[in-house]
Structures are given as structure tokens and as C-alpha cells.
A and B are shown apart, each in its own frame.
Chain A
């Protein structure tokens, strides 16, 4: 049982890292709290559902599609919302309220078009591309795609493994972006010293817009897998996803996107262990964890209030 919980925790944890990483990127670069983060996950989930029900292809193909769509959405939203916000007296506070408004709009629009019923995708839909390839190359029956995958003698749904691997790839790409590209290097500069970045002539707007677009794109990609990881989604799924994302992000380190990978795995393991042994208290976990981490690591979090002259 423990082995199962631990392995499932790592698989979920890798996925949770992907859930949180976009939120952290946006906060790290802009000091803006994207309270609509979970709603972009929700939209990503509906992209996956749409791809499966309308076109009938593997939702894995929806991942790059969703990323590109929401990257563009992010860039547009950035230019509409953020400059006005940054000009106000208290951007950080107002961003919370602004993006709460946006999350309401997204949830409402989704409900208007799709209704409030729970939607799910048969879990074997994910990864059909692999079984098709396997059949082409090695022969055999084509319906083995959704079968469990064995790790350490325990069977896990293939969709969990695929989500975990995709998350690893996505986090790897974020790492490459931040450490191997020019824009990524500037992004790290802005994250560490926003005020000074302005002074040194870095085009903070361009860096921020890119981070915002990438953040939303990553949220949407994470959303693709949400129907498989959580069973089903509704338009109201976003609010819970946002709080969970916060727990993960804070657990890692706010403002450090790669710390989120660590936070996600720790969160995933805690989640699965509590789920296994204390299931009626599992709902409490993200909130209690979030509060404790916020309080126990005040140096990193309170750093901004102390005036360093």
C-alpha cells in the first residue's frame, strides 16, 4: 500500500508541478497573482474533451495546440490588462481582485456554452497514439492502450504515467527557456530584481508578456490531463485548481519556477499518502499545508517588507 501511495504520489506530483509552474512564473516575473490560473486549467481540460469528442484523436495532440492558443491569449490579455494595473497604486492587491473577476468571466462563459454537468473522457483515449504506433511496428491488438502500466510491481493507469512524463518534458522545456535562451535569461533577471531590471533598460514589458503567455500556456497543457487525473471536470473546477496550485507553488518557493517541481512532488506524495491512510481528511491537506508553509518560511516570504537600504 505504501509503495503504491509513494509511486502514485510521485506521478501525481510531477503532474502537480506542471499545474503550478505557470502560476509561479507569472508571479515571479510580474508580482501579479493570477487568480484565474485554475480557470485556464479548466479551459485546457475542455480543449482535451473537445478534441476527443469532436475529432476523436488522442488528446495528447491537444497539448501543443492548447499551449499555442493560450500563449496567444496570454499575450493579448497581458497587453489589455497589465499596463493599466501596473500603473495603479497597489498592483499586487488589485491583481488579486482583477484576476478574480477574470476567473468569474471565464467560468460564466464556459457554463453558458457547455452547461454545468461533469464531463469526463474515457481514460484509454489518452495515449492511443502510442498503441497505434505499437500495433504498426510490432503488431498485436490495438486496444491495449489504456491498460495499466506496472511500476515496482504495482499497476498504475497509463494516463497517470503519460501525464507525469509530459509534465517532466514541459518542466524541462521551461528550464531550457530560462537558462538557455536570451529572453529566458532576461526573465530570470527580472524575477530576481524587478526594479533594477527597469533601470538597466531590460524590456520588462516584453519579458513579462512572454512569461504571462507561457504561464497560461502551461496551465492549459496541465488542464489537458485534468480529466484523467481527477476523473471529471466542470466549469467550477477552476477555483479549486487555483488554491491547489498555490499550495504547490508556495511549497516549492514563490518566485522560483523550478522550485515548483520539488513542491509538486512533495505535495503529490503527501496527497496520496493522506488519501490512502486518512481519506476523509484529504480535502483539508492543501489548505493546511499552504498555511503552514507560508508561516514556517517567513524569511523568504516576508523578505520584501523589510526595507534594505
Chain B
């Protein structure tokens, strides 16, 4: 939890264009092991694009992504998985016709983790043990999100990107998953969280980056961010005026 530690990931002047639209326009930030960093901002501000670039779904059009000292911009996703990055998806897409167990087996076999965690423990921990032999198509949305997370954790990431993991969970589930995420960070994992639920963000993050139009407009504690005029303006213009 010490910010002075060398960052595991640093992003500098990242640019991603779609046609003429700059989804990321010179974004820079870093995150260290054991830290939970929040990415917040209105819709279309570039949060998910940032995650997609870091996890190798898109190659950046400019700038640099450095993981543990090595540049990884444009490296294929599966290689990044082997180098210690994993993520969850806003809309989880598990392998629907495969069972929950088989879903995890794929990540166990191909994730490249030197000492993969025990599947039974993970399924138990994320409340999937009872549905382990059912096709993933039978799971509800919250269970599919947990399966997505288990898939990511099975590859033993050192950097975990969570894209709206909490959206759609009920208050009891929110408390529970917040506890899980904090425990993961305490075990030394660096975690980047994209989330719309401000209370949840405030509760779990050490630090947030506020994005607008693909640029950083604030970095620091969320409690401070909400008092900065520029941040307030961006959010009042958006849908999260509260």
C-alpha cells in the first residue's frame, strides 16, 4: 500500500483514435502493487478504452504502456495474460456452452500461471461451487460476473483491471465484493477499477484519476476530487451529478 514503491504499470501520453474521434488523448498515470486505483469520469470519457488498450484489445495510436519496465503497447492479449495482466468485462462473456468448471479449466491450462490457484477454492470463494457443473449459460448476471473474475484470477495476475464489476450487484453483494477486492490488493495485486458507483469507488480506492474526453483532469483522493470545480463541472454536465 505504499505509493512510493516503483509502479508496476505506467501509462504515458496514451492516444487511441477511432476514426477522427480521440477516445484517449494523452492519458498518463501509474499504479503500484497493492494499490487500488479508480478510473472515473462521464460516459465516453475513455475509461473502458484505457482498459482495452492496457489489456491488449486495442493497439495504442500513440504513447507508451510500460509493465514492470517493459513496453507492452500493442502486445497481443494472451501474451499480456502470461505477463501478469488480466481483466474482467463490463458485459461478461463466459463460454456459454461450457460448464463453469470447464470455463475455469481453459484459464488454468492456458493462463500460464506458474502456480495456479486451486479451482475448487476459487469457485467456493466466489460462490460458484454449487453451479460448477452447470453450463455458464445457466448463470445469472451476477454469477457470470463472478465467473469472469474467477477466470481472470486463475491466471494469477499481478495487475487486475475491473470494468464495472459492481454494476448490477445488490448492496449485500457490493459489500462482499468490496471486501474481496481489498483482500486481493492486500495480497500484493495492483488493481484498476472502472466504476460508476461513487460510494463504492470511495470505499475501495486509494486514489482516483478523473477522466474527461480522454484526458486526465484530476488525480488524488475521490473525497478531494468532488470539491474541484473542473471535476464538478464535468460531472454536472454528465449523468452523475450527485
Contacts and interface: CB of A to CB of B under 8 A. Distances in A.
Complex A–B touching at CB under 8 A: yes
Interface of A: 306-307, 309
Contacts of B120: none
11 contacts: A306-B57, A307-B57, A307-B89, A307-B91, A307-B93, A309-B48, A309-B52, A309-B89, A309-B90, A309-B91, A309-B163
A62 B90 CA distance: 54
Contacts of A307: 57, 89, 91, 93
Instruction: Tell me if A's interface is mostly helix, strand, loop or mixed.
Output: loop
A306 B58 CA distance: 9
A307 B91 CA distance: 9
Q: How large is the interface on B (under 10, 10 to 19, 20 to 34, 35 or more residues)?
A: under 10
Contacts of B48: 309
B83 to A, nearest CB: 21
Contacts of A309: 48, 52, 89-91, 163
Nearest to B58: A306
A288 B52 CA distance: 35
A255 to B, nearest CB: 17
A208 B110 CA distance: 42
A307 B48 CA distance: 11
Interface string B147-173: 000000000000000010000000000
A309 B57 CA distance: 12
B23 to A, nearest CB: 10
Contacts of B89: 307, 309
Contacts of A306: 57
Interface string B28-55: 0000000000000000000010001000
B200 to A, nearest CB: 18
A177 B89 CA distance: 40
B60 to A, nearest CB: 15
Contacts of B163: 309
A74 B154 CA distance: 50
Nearest to B97: A89
A306 B163 CA distance: 16
A93 to B, nearest CB: 14
Interface in B35-92: 48, 52, 57, 89-91
Contacts of B52: 309
Nearest to B93: A307
A33 B135 CA distance: 29
A306 B93 CA distance: 13
Interface in B75-130: 89-91, 93
B88 to A, nearest CB: 11
B41 to A, nearest CB: 14
A307 B93 CA distance: 10
A309 B161 CA distance: 14
Nearest to B137: A89
B115 to A, nearest CB: 30
Nearest to B19: A299
A258 to B, nearest CB: 21
Nearest to A299: B19
Given A307-B57, A309-B48, 9 more contacts: A306-B57, A307-B89, A307-B91, A307-B93, A309-B52, A309-B89, A309-B90, A309-B91, A309-B163
Closest 7 CB pairs of A and B: A309-B48, A309-B90, A309-B163, A309-B91, A309-B89, A307-B89, A309-B52
A306 B90 CA distance: 14
A218 B48 CA distance: 43
B59 to A, nearest CB: 12
A309 B167 CA distance: 14
